[in-house]
Structure 1
Amino acid sequence: MTPGEIARWEVLTYARYSVHSTVKTDAWAALLSADPEAASIEFLRSPGGGLEYATQRALNRDEGNKRFLRRLLETHLRAYSPEVYEAANLYLTSSASKREQFCHGGGYEAAKGRDQRFRAELGEQKRALVEEDRRYVRTLAERDPGAQVRFAAAYAVREGSTDDDLTDFFAWGWAQGARLDVEGFREEMLRENRQWQLTIAQLIVDAEAAEKAAREIEGEAGKEARDQAVAAWRKVGTGASPARSKWEEARDFAQQQAETWHAILLAAQQAAQNPNWKAVIDPARTTEGDWTDNRSLSGENVAYWESLLQKALDGEQRIKNPS
């Protein structure tokens, strides 16, 4: 794989899996350009490349507010949180100042409070609560694979909590914690992958240069050059191994999460006559799909880093056994 091919692969990963819409859009623009390999190298260039620029735009206050509103739309169903849902839908297309007021000026908290009163007045969620629900949420607080879901569950059953806290968890807290876990997983893995890619790309360039020099030098100096080239390719293998191992761990974790959410979906479907569990069905289906995508992201990168390990082994063998 050439530096351009390596860059193109990484940019494709950002285009498919980044949690930031600005990064996805700019990554696809690079891939669809007249020279995608050159554009991919430029996109990943640091400092000042397209990835850095798109990420900074994503971290812009208003972009962060839009991302928050989109998350609310994904995790607050209109049937159970009508005030938050309608407000998020409205402010997503409003002015930046109105978005800021809603997200950070008390608007969201007020809408959330109105929804809690709506559910309390409706009464069906509270009436449907049983002790088994509380035990289940306590189990999630202790054992769920997702840190954000554990946090949301622990808050719902904390000392001094009320039935409103528990119905809030079923109505939106569970889904929101799940969404944050999905986003956190992708952000962490892509951030670490960027560092591994920076290292491996330079190691491959060095190894290819060392191999070229070894082929051009004769005699005793040539033997020393070949030894250096073997060592350079070995560094490539050493550099690729931790990345492959971490992606294998990520793949296994994503598989565990997908299975967990499939089980939650089945449980919610079986208890669909209970309004609390009915509220979980769509978020559970979505979250299972998200973790299936995360498993694909991880599996693709396991295969990618294995290919670089094989490239390193092939390089060593070419030098040790020249044709």
Structure 2
Amino acid sequence: MMPRSIRAALATVAAATALASGTATLLAAPAWATVPSAVVAPRSAVAGGPADGLPAIIASAADAARDRVLRLAKSNLPAEIRTSAWNALRSTRGEAAIEEWLTPGGGYDAAKQRLRDARSRNRAYCEQVVRTHTVGFSPQVRAAAERALKGNDADRAAFVRTGYAEAQKRDRAAREADGRHRLEIAAKDREFVRAMAANDPGEHVRAAAGWAVRPGSTDEDVAEFFGYGWTSGAVLDLEAYRLRVADADVRRHHLLTRLIAQAAAAEQELETAADTARARAEAERSWRAVAEHAESARTAWLAEQSAARVQAESWRTVAQVSKESADTVWKDITAPAEARQGDWAAEQTEASEAAAFWKDMADRARESETRVKN
């Protein structure tokens, strides 16, 4: 469903076109009425005048906006964002709810603000620890995090404040006391971590690796990097990427709605303007702004696609190295490495699909600019 602001403009354009041509009869269902979500109407549907091209481009933008909200609702982003997105999608207010959710200061921003609440941060931290600390390497930390999640807000705050560090000390003491769990760190493993600190594509992984091989670090520091630090950094890198691209695309879709509304209004004025040349120039300028915005979005998504590809390839290499290594420290790396490879491959696919949408939107806007010239 299209946003309310541009639906009103479209209705006026259609009426003005019909009156101007002397054919103010009932209009057939527009081409966009049966276009499925996130699927762009065929080029033939936008080749005609305003009654053809404008409904199709508006519908494509509206479908893509709803699809973006749906993707966020189904994503692995924090629960505050996912729940808020589902509420917008299920609202009885329909398209108006989607439009307002994407608007700066609307539902998405409100959900982001809730992420800053201490209770939300504490829960997210406990959940991350459970995801990244295995029972085999960090049994005390894992158990303490799980207890905190099952407890109340005070339990989770206590875990973040002191519980994690205390459980970590108990795990270290147990590993040192049990020779079977004492890991020998080979020089080549330390060099591998040092190379990651300089070259890994993930900011948080680089930071975790750098801490493990900082001046004065011990074999236990490197072992902990392999045990949970690497995985923790990887999760943070993935979450940061997802939140960053979500932020950017929410803004892009909101601006696209505004720009198309302005272009629709400019076409409306063109139908009745006394100064046709001025009105036509304004309509051309408005559609050019849509095209430039869409092209900028496409360029940004191509960059995200490249970044995701680099990450996926990096994790594929890590998974292969871990399978081939006989060193004990690598034994728990294969599964999370393969999982991260899959995550980043999925992000690469989504970025490719988004870039394709924005390219098509830019093409449609340029066609609309050409259309209003004639």
Normalized against structure 2, the TM-score is what? 0.79
1:281 aligns with 2:334: yes
Give the direction of change, closer, same or farther, for the CA distance of 1:148–1:293 in structure 2 (3 Å limit): same
Tell me, in whole angstroms, the C-alpha distance in 2 between the residues paired with 1:270 and 1:54: 44
Q: Which has the higher contact order (CA 8 A, sep 6+)?
A: 2
Q: Which amino acid in the other structure matches residue 55 of structure 1?
A: K
Is residue 113 of structure 1 aligned with residue 113 of structure 2?
Answer: no
String of CA shifts for 1:44-72, please: whole Å, max 9, x gaps: 2343x322332222221111111111111
| SS of residue paired to 1:293 | helix
CA distance in 1, matches of 2:252, 2:205: 29
1:141 aligns with 2:194: no
Pair member with larger Rg: 2
Conservation of the 8 A alpha-carbon contact between 2:99 and 2:254? no
Contact 1:84 1:112 in 2 (8 A): yes
| d(CA) in 2 for partners of 1:8, 1:113 | 48
Residue equivalent to 1:306? 359
- Distance in 2 between the 1:177 and 1:80 partners? 17
**Greater Cα shift, 112-121 or 143-152:** 112-121
Shift of residue 27 of structure 1? 0.9
Residue deviations 1:172-220 (CA, integer Å, cap 9, x gap):
00000111111111122222223333332211111111112213336xx
Residues 5 and 37, structure 1, Cα contact 8 Å, conserved in 2:
no
1:128-167 counterparts in 2 under 5 A?
128-167=184-223
Does the aligned pair in 2 maintain the 1:125–1:276 contact within 8 Å?
A: no
Q: Distance in 1 between matches of 2:76 and 2:267?
A: 36
Structure 1 residues 318 and 96: CA distance shift in structure 2, 3 A: same
2:151 counterpart SS class = coil
> Which residue of 90, 95, 114 maps to 1:37?
95
Map 1:1-323; keep pairs closer than 5 Å: 1-2=58-59, 4-17=62-75, 19-34=77-92, 36-47=94-105, 49-104=106-161, 106-124=162-180, 126-217=182-273, 221-271=275-325, 273-321=326-374
Q: Whole-Å Cα distance in 1 between the matches of residues 167 and 128 of structure 2? A: 15
Q: How many residues of Structure 1 are paired with residues of Structure 2 in the alignment?
A: 316
Distance in 2 (CA, whole Å) between partners of 1:120 and 1:281 is: 24
Calculate percent identity across the aligned residue pairs.
33
Identify if the C-alpha distance between structure 1 residues 198 and 34 changes in structure 2 by more than 3 Å, giving closer, same or farther.
closer
Q: Deviations over 1:123-161 (max 9, x none)?
A: 446444211101111110111111111111111111111
- TM-score (normalizing by structure 1): 0.91
Counterpart-to-counterpart distance in 2, 1:36 and 1:282: 42
Per-residue Cα deviation, 1:197-252 (whole angstroms, up to 9, x for no partner) = 3332211111111112213336xx11221111011100111122222111111111
Contact map agreement 2:133 2:227 (CA 8 A) in 1: yes
Matching residue's letter, 1:27:
A
Question: 1:287 is matched by which residue type in structure 2?
Answer: R
The alpha carbon displacement at 1:166 in A equals 0.5
Q: CA RMSD in A?
A: 1.9
Unaligned runs of 5+ in 2: 1-57
Q: Secondary structure at the match of 2:74?
A: helix
Offset of residue 277 of structure 1: 0.4
Task: For residue 192 of structure 1, give the secondary structure of its aligned residue in structure 2.
Answer: helix
Unaligned runs of 5+ in 1: none
